[in-house]
């Protein structure tokens, strides 16, 4: 499947499509809080394996038990079907 940018209708539908994600500065963003650093790091390890398998890598940060993930397709300059696919795969982990 070719990587394509989302159209305006798809972007407007994101709150229904991915209700736990927010649209922030043209990127999908989601925050998690875990019970401790080890749990947060374990989650990040699982996401890393997904991202590597999809060859689509997030921007993210980790502060102790908190993880923030941002998704966009840098090569295309916006949100693409890859971002939706990775967000759904991440949601399935959490």
Instruction: Kindly give, in sequence order, each residue whose CB lies less than 8 Å from that of residue 10, ignoring residues fewer than 6 positions away.
Output: 17
| Orientation of helix 81-93 relative to helix 37-54, angle to 10° | 140
What is the pairing mode between strands 27-33 and 66-71? antiparallel
How buried is 49 (Cβ within 10 angstroms: 0-12 exposed, 13-18 middle, 19+ buried)? exposed
Q: Write the CATH number for 30.
A: 3.30.1360.20
Residue at 47 is within a domain: yes
What is the block-wise mean pLDDT of the chain (94 residues), using blocks of 10 residues? 90 95 97 98 98 96 98 94 97 92
How many domains does one find in the chain? 1
Residue at 33 is within a domain: yes
Residue 78 has which token pair? 């916006």
Q: What does the pLDDT read at residue 57?
A: 95
Q: What does the pLDDT read at residue 49?
A: 98
Q: What does the pLDDT read at residue 1?
A: 64
């Amino acid at each position: 499947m070719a990587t394509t940018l989302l159209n305006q209708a798809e972007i407007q539908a994101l709150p229904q499509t991915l209700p736990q994600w927010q649209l922030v500065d043209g990127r999908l963003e989601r925050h998690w809080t875990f019970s401790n650093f080890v749990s947060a790091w374990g989650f990040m390890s699982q996401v890393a394996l997904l991202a590597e398998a999809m060859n689509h890598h997030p921007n993210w940060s980790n502060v102790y038990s908190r993880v923030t993930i941002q998704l966009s397709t840098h090569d295309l300059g916006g949100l693409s079907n890859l971002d939706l696919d990775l967000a759904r795969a991440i949601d399935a982990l959490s």
